Amino acid sequence: MKRLNWGMIGGGEGSQIGPAHRMGAQADGNFVLAAGALDHDAERGKDYAQRLGVAEDRAYGNWQEMLEGEKNRDDRIDLVTVATPNSTHFEITKSFLEAGFNVLCEKPMTMTVEEGEEIVKIAEATGKICAVNYCYSAYPMVREMRNMVANGDIGKVRLIVTSFSHGHHGDATDADNPRVRWRYDPAMAGVSGQFADCGIHAMHMASFVAGDEVRTLSADFASTIASRELEDDAMVSFRMERGTVGRLWTSSVAIGRQHGFDIQVFGETGGMKWFSEQPNQVLYTPVGGRTQIMEKGESGLSDEASRLSRVAIAHPEGFPMAVANIYVDLAAAIRGEPHGDYPKAVDGLRSMAAVHQAVASANEDGAWVDARPPMFRT
Ligand code: NAI
């Protein structure tokens, strides 16, 4: 099968998320890195792209040059990944979609709800793929949980409790470090700090596993380090369309917690728990029964969990392979083949609405507000 040409914007040398995309996109032989504008520093970006195997004429100094250079090529890129800082996502994603490219955008997809609606509309109008990298939803055992919920294995879902709380910005003496500071500066980060950065992964996960959407929410935001203008800790209660109760805690000052992302789903006839630091396992407890450890790669899992597992039982795969699972389905979608689910622009839009509505709620002492984007309010 012919490999697809892949381009990357951002994710330069030393970036946090760049390596996971490169490992993920190229893991299954579907994509080859053909073009890149990898760094805010043009020369560093060109140099690094070439060291990664990109031809000199497709190692671009910035994304505008890349758009110009790629759009009229016969072998132009089939997919571009946007892995730059948040405030640039909208403009880059919009420009590439409008030029007829498929896009995988990092989260948060945009900074405002209006921008999110615009991206959804452009993706619809152009018929191009616009995916958003909610990659945790692509872990095999997360797919297993979703499948069990859909099968009714735990009955109607009553309650979801999820947290994405780490302690890596908990040192007040480090608060002025430029790599930390921007995240709590409204001029750089927008209206929300920790909720927009990590909380939206947890909220997307709740919706994904439940097969439902968040309808209303009430938020309590706190800046526990006084110099911060944006929240470094948030508790968000929510209700889903089918009545499921949600509790979400996100924090960056929870010293001692590392990645700190977990989800528990409690239904009428059972409960389940998954923790990102032990992603191969789901704990499942039927009502009145003992807790069972379900393991990636074991027999009897759903087709979806089996399809997205690569190595044998008990061998860790981990984060880059969850990202790879997003690329597997994007490759199939680009080739017009049957494919599984992947997070889309509409998920990015729902997150943006939730962020802005959580800020509004927090500013009104936790008043309950409609969490949905205006285009989905009926
Ligand atoms: P980072 O600061 O570590 O790296 C950003 C990279 O983008 C750098 O190489 C920088 O030179 C480059 N860059 C900046 N402006 C650029 C421009 N205009 N054109 C081309 N390159 C540019 O940032 P990090 O942590 O890798 O985050 C990038 C994005 O990925 C963010 O939106 C973040 O929210 C998201 N992210 C998502 C994760 C996930 O689990 N899905 C995990 C970590 C980050």
Q: Among the atoms of ligand 1, which is closest to the Cα of residue 37? A: 20
Query: What is the per-residue pLDDT for 131?
Result: 98
How many domains would you assign to the chain? 2
Distance between CA atoms of residues 92 and 98, nearest Å: 10
Are 128 and 160 contained in the same domain?
Answer: no
State mean pLDDT over 241-270.
98
Strands lying side by side in the sheet with 281-286: 292-295, 281-286, 270-275, 261-267, 157-165, 245-251, 233-240, 214-222, 369-370
Are 124 and 171 contained in the same domain?
Answer: no
Helix (H) or strand (E) holding 239: strand 233-240
Give residue 92 CA to ligand 1 midpoint distance, Å.
13
For the chain, the 3-state helix, strand and coil shares in percent, each to the nearest 5, are 40, 25, 40
Q: Any idea what DSSP says for residue 96?
A: H
Distance between CA atoms of residues 99 and 126, nearest Å: 9
Neighbours of 74 (CB within 10 A): 4
Cα first-last separation, the chain: 45
Neighbours of 356 (CB within 10 A): 22
Distance between CA atoms of residues 82 and 102, nearest Å: 11
Are 358 and 236 contained in the same domain?
Answer: yes
Give residue 18 CA to ligand 1 midpoint distance, Å.
7
Are 128 and 167 contained in the same domain?
Answer: no
Are 107 and 212 contained in the same domain?
Answer: no
Q: Name residues whose C-beta falls within 8 Å of residue 348's C-beta, 6 or more positions apart in sequence.
A: 105, 107, 108, 109, 110, 116, 119, 130, 132
Tell me whether residue 61 is in a domain.
Answer: yes
Tell me whether residue 160 is in a domain.
Answer: yes
Are 187 and 103 contained in the same domain?
Answer: no
Tell me whether residue 278 is in a domain.
Answer: no
Tell me whether residue 196 is in a domain.
Answer: yes
State mean pLDDT over 259-281.
98
Q: Which of the listed residues 40, 134, 276, 277 should we mutate to test ligand 1's pocket, taking the one with most ligand atoms within 8 A of CB? A: 40
Instruction: Please state whether beta strands 130-132 and 102-105 pair in parallel, antiparallel, or not at all (unpaired).
Output: parallel
- Residue-wise pLDDT for 297-323, tens only, equals 999 999 999 999 999 998 999 999 999
Are 124 and 235 contained in the same domain?
Answer: no
Tell me whether residue 298 is in a domain.
Answer: no
Query: Can you name the residues that pair with 10 across neighbouring β-strands?
Result: 83
Backbone φ/ψ region at 155: left (φ over 0), alpha (ψ -120 to 50), beta: left
Tell me whether residue 220 is in a domain.
Answer: yes
Are 101 and 164 contained in the same domain?
Answer: no
Q: Is 351 in the pocket of ligand 1 (CB under 6 A)?
A: no
Are 188 and 47 contained in the same domain?
Answer: no
92, 116, 132 — which closes off a domain? 132
Buried b (16+ CB within 10 A) or exposed e, 197-216: bbbbbbbbbbbbbbebbbbb
Are 185 and 121 contained in the same domain?
Answer: no
- Residue-wise pLDDT for 26-51, tens only, equals 999 999 999 999 999 999 999 999 99
Query: What is the per-residue pLDDT for 188?
Result: 87
- Residue with the two structure tokens 């759903």: 302
CA gyration radius, the chain: 20
Say which amino acid occupies 10. Answer: G
CATH number for position 99: 3.40.50.720
Distance between CA atoms of residues 294 and 317, nearest Å: 16
In this predicted complex, what is the ipTM? 0.99
77, 97, 132 — which closes off a domain? 132
Give residue 143 CA to ligand 1 midpoint distance, Å.
26
Distance between CA atoms of residues 264 and 162, nearest Å: 6
Residue span of the structural domain in which 162 resides: 156-267+348-363
Distance between CA atoms of residues 249 and 237, nearest Å: 9
Q: Is 84 in the pocket of ligand 1 (CB under 6 A)?
A: yes
Are 173 and 75 contained in the same domain?
Answer: no
Q: How confident is the model at residue 1 (pLDDT cuts 50, 70, 90)?
A: confident
Q: Is 88 in the pocket of ligand 1 (CB under 6 A)?
A: yes
Give residue 87 CA to ligand 1 midpoint distance, Å.
10
Helices (H), 239-344: 303-307, 319-334
Nearest alpha-carbon partner for 329 in 166, 33, 164, 129: 129
- Residue-wise pLDDT for 331-349, tens only, equals 999 999 999 999 999 999 9
Tell me whether residue 90 is in a domain.
Answer: yes
CATH number for position 191: 3.30.360.10
Nearest alpha-carbon partner for 370 in 220, 136, 214, 262: 214
Are 91 and 233 contained in the same domain?
Answer: no
Query: What is the per-residue pLDDT for 179?
Result: 83
Tell me whether residue 100 is in a domain.
Answer: yes
